[in-house]
Amino acid sequence: MAGRLKPLAQQVLVVTGATSGNGRAIVEQAVLRGAAVVAVARNADALDDLRTQMSANGGRIVTCAADVSDLAAVERIAVVAIEAFGGFDSWINNAGIGTYGTLDQVPAADHRRVFDVNYFGVLHGSLVAARHLRERGGGAIINIGSILGDRAIVQQGPYCATKHAVQALTDTVRMELEQDATGISVTLVKPAAIDTPFPEHARNFMDQPPRLPQPLYAPEVVADAVLFACAHRKRTLYAGGGGMLSSILSQAAPRLADRIMEAVGTRAQQKPNDRGDPSRRDNLYEPRTDALRGSQDVRVRRSSVMVQVQKVPRPAISIAILAGGAAALAWATRPKWRT
């Protein structure tokens, strides 16, 4: 029988991709709730700023500059955690990068780079975390996937492919650790579109500035789901109801979802005349200016009912009602073409 996870305030968390977007929100909320944090990112200057800010408010935080595509660098993170806090209780694989453009527009080297960070970074983190947590008798590994691990979208093919791979990787890690009765909880968090600098950071091959499609949620929605998973055993958590409904629609009526993506997917991911902060553009190979939120003019939802529903001990009934409604809508509006 798996043991209970520690309350968040008694934990040490490792957070990769910690200086921007969801990672930054996770760090800020974790420190606010009393946890100690090992913040990891490529951007050493941004790490220094983050440590200064969190320490000034009484937070317990150390930093480690590392590129998660490098296994040796990821192993060094665990050493930093052990030296600073005696180890860690939860490891959050959050670092991620992306591109905008069709598959033939994105050079093969950039495809590989996205996989090096988004897939191999999660693999490296999961292996290092599992090795350490086995010795501690349990803990939590939380991998940040995406609704695009359920539903591919045009213009983000490499990113979608990595998130499908992360889902398979996470399921495999969970089964292997359960087979060995390690007591380690493994959770996949699937954010919807979140208001982070991702569109500005991504390498863009489109002829218009990229954006994330509506509805957009604040990064704190993801942080809420992740920190809940640190202290509660959950298989999967969707961060944002819009994302979950999109996933359900795709499973209930995949051809309808394809046609919708083909018709509006590119336009929904372009924001003419709003390129955002130029200092943030293209962090595929080198870090750029990091921030909690994107700098484009967008509408943002600051909370998610779906996250709160998934926190209750038996959320299946509520989620089933939502799923049934989405499936019924998909069936009622299904196209009459042949497949």
Q: What is the pTM of this model?
A: 0.91
Each residue of 73-90: pLDDT tens digit? Answer: 999 999 999 999 999 999
What pLDDT does 122 receive? Answer: 98
What pLDDT does 320 receive? Answer: 56
Taking all residues of the chain, what is their mean pLDDT, rounded to a whole number? 92
What pLDDT does 42 receive? Answer: 98
Residue 339 belongs to some domain of the structure: no
Residue 268 belongs to some domain of the structure: yes
Instruction: Please pick, among 119, 159, 217, 238, the residue that the annotation labels catalytic.
Output: 159
CA atoms within a 13 Å half-sphere pointing along the CA-CB vector of 11: 28
Residue 2 belongs to some domain of the structure: no
Q: Is 238 a catalytic residue?
A: no
**Domain carrying residue 211:** 8-332
Residue 173 belongs to some domain of the structure: yes
Residue 79 belongs to some domain of the structure: yes
Q: Which residue type sits at 59?
A: G
Residue 3 belongs to some domain of the structure: no
Residue 337 belongs to some domain of the structure: no
Domain count, the chain: 1
Question: In the chain, which residues have pLDDT < 70?
Answer: 1-2, 315-339
Six-digit token string for 85: 């806090």
Domain of 191: which CATH number? Answer: 3.40.50.720
Overall residue count recorded for the chain in this entry: 339
Residue 166 belongs to some domain of the structure: yes
CA distance 98 to 259: 23
DSSP alpha helix (H) spans, the chain: 21-32, 44-56, 71-85, 108-118, 120-136, 157-179, 198-201, 219-231, 241-252, 254-268, 305-311, 316-332
Q: Nearest CA to 223 among 24, 9, 8, 19?
A: 24
